[in-house]
Structure 1
Amino acid sequence: MMTIDLASDIVSRGIYLILIICAVAIIPSLLVGLCVSIFQAATQINEQTLSFLPRLVMTLVVLIFGGKWMWLKLTDFTVDMFHQAAGYIG
């Protein structure tokens, strides 16, 4: 039987999973952006591609190396939801 507590648990686990996966992809990009910004401030170089390109490359590298882990986490969560669906409904 689906209760409010069970529904809130499912939603909270889903949101937590999405936050972890997004953090893995975003935090390295933010750190590279911070380093590039410090470099730009120190050298007074104001080039837009210098701030954009390293963050893009870092995001792609993280997705290449961490994409399998992210995919496995999402599929594990989805398979778990489908396995428990019968218990949730009836």
Structure 2
Amino acid sequence: MNGADVIDIARDAVYTLLIVSGPTMAIGLGVGLLIALFQALTQIQEMTLTFVPKIIAIFLALVLFMPMMGAQMGDLMARLMDRVATGG
């Protein structure tokens, strides 16, 4: 295995990481922005107000996107094992 192979594997892993974590992070960001807007409009400055809605939204996003996440990670593992089996 040379440097180009390592860089190719790392690129594939980072791309898979972005695909797997992207939807959940985007939903967390969206809920956080909505809560911040709500706090700004109502002038309620409670720090703990953001935690419960974000936790619930991220949990629901994980449940919703889990099949896609598992498929992406399984595909990455299959590609890595194919490289190991073929030796390149």
Structure-2-length-normalised TM-score: 0.90
Aligned to 1:38: 37
**TM alignment of 1:38-77, pairs within 5 A:** 38-77=37-76
TM-aligned CA deviation for residue 47 of structure 1: 2.3
Equivalent AA in structure 1 for residue 73 of structure 2: L
1:19 aligned residue: 18
Alpha-carbon distance in structure 2 between the residues aligned to 1:59 and 1:51: 12
Between the two proteins, the alignment pairs up a number of residues equal to 88
Q: Secondary structure at the match of 1:71?
A: helix
Structure 1 position 87, deviation (Å):
2.4
Moved over 3 A (4+): none
Q: Secondary structure at the match of 2:87?
A: helix
Q: Take 1:49 and 1:67, find their aligned partners in 2: how far apart are those partners?
A: 27
- Map Cα deviations across residues 17-55 of structure 1 (whole Å, 9 max, x no partner): 112211111111111101110110110112233211111
Aligned partners of 2:87 and 2:35: how far apart in 1?
49
Distance in structure 1 (CA, Å) of the matches to 2:27 and 2:85: 39
Which residue in the other structure is 1:78 paired with? Answer: 77
- Root-mean-square deviation (CA, aligned residues, Å) is 1.3
Provide the identity percentage: 28
Which blocks of at least 5 consecutive residues in structure 2 are unaligned?
A: none
